[in-house]
Structure 1
Amino acid sequence: MDTKLLAVDYPVLNIFWTMLELFLWILWFFLLFKIISDIFRSHDLSGWGKAGWLILVIFLPLIGILVYLIARGQSMGMRDIEQAQQADAAVRAYIRDAAGTPAAGTPDGGGRSHVEDLARLADLRDRGAISDEEYQKAKDKLLV
């Protein structure tokens, strides 16, 4: 095929419009799935409310998405923030549990970690308050 023929058949402006249409389709699908997940995640809607919004979004997609974003967009953002905070708290709790360090203010550790205890032991040993043998025994107790 001749390259001149291809350039004439599909000019640069058509490539731009095709890319714009593709972007808008992807954006629309992203919003559709985001809104459907938000409908099911919402605790302040009844079952009939969820069904109504779902029917509106599916059968009148463009109008339904715009109306949903106008009517419930702000609360949708709040639910996203709340879910992110819950996920962050869950990750922090998992890391704290996996690391074996108690949370600050808990009765089993008062918020001190093994690293802080080992640093205090090393400081006592360096000042000569405890011997190397006592340091090793205390260190073994901490790490068990």
Structure 2
Amino acid sequence: MDSFWDFLWLTISVFFFMAYLMVLFNVIADLFSDREASGWTKAIWVFFLIFVPALTALIYLIARGGGMADRQRAKMSALREQNDAYIRDVAGSAPADQIASAKSLLDSGAISASEYEQLKAKALA
């Protein structure tokens, strides 16, 4: 680096190159996650992304940008639902529900009174 201006130019160039790569990878990821696009359509987009990458990425963002947002929103919604289901599954039920379940098992004769007391103590712990 000979001067401050060379360093500044390098920093700006690296910034724009990284931004370009992020856009390019997002376009490719969206292209392959789109279930509505045919294989030939995807092949044509990839062909142009390889040979005319900046212009093709810009055209893709203009032509299909709204669909990208919708697909991303749907993906995030599905992930949120999976996460919520996992949390509900791992968290289990409330202590009152566990005690009520143990009481119904005691009433049906499936467990003894001492087993009921153990389950009750475990639920309250």
The TM-score range, normalised by the shorter chain, is 0.7 to 0.9
Structure with max Cα Rg: 1
The residue aligned with 1:25 is 17
SS at match of 1:22: helix
1:81 matched residue in structure 2: 73
Matched residues, percent identical?
A: 33
- Residue 58 (structure 1) aligned to one of 41, 50, 62: 50
Deviation readout 1:30-83 (Å, 9 max, x if unpaired): 111111110000012111111111111121101110010010011101111111
Instruction: Give 1:141 shift.
Output: 7.5
Q: Which has the higher helix share?
A: 2
Write out the 4+ residue segments of structure 1 that deviate beyond 4 Å after TM superposition. Answer: none
> Which residue of structure 2 lines up, in the alignment, with residue 126 of structure 1?
none
Number of aligned residue pairs: give it. Answer: 107
- Aligned counterpart for 1:93 among listed residues 85, 97, 101: 85
- Cα distance between partner residues in 2 of 1:91 and 1:84: 10
* RMSD of aligned alpha carbons: 2.4
Structure 1 segments unaligned to the other structure (5+ residues) = 1-8, 102-112, 119-135
Alpha-carbon separation, structure 2, partners of 1:56 and 1:40: 15
* SS at 1:45 equivalent: coil
Could you tell me how far 1:16 is from its partner in structure 2?
1.1
Structure 2, unaligned stretches of length 5 or more? 98-115
The residue that corresponds to 1:3 in the other structure is: none
Report the TM-score when normalising by structure 1: 0.66
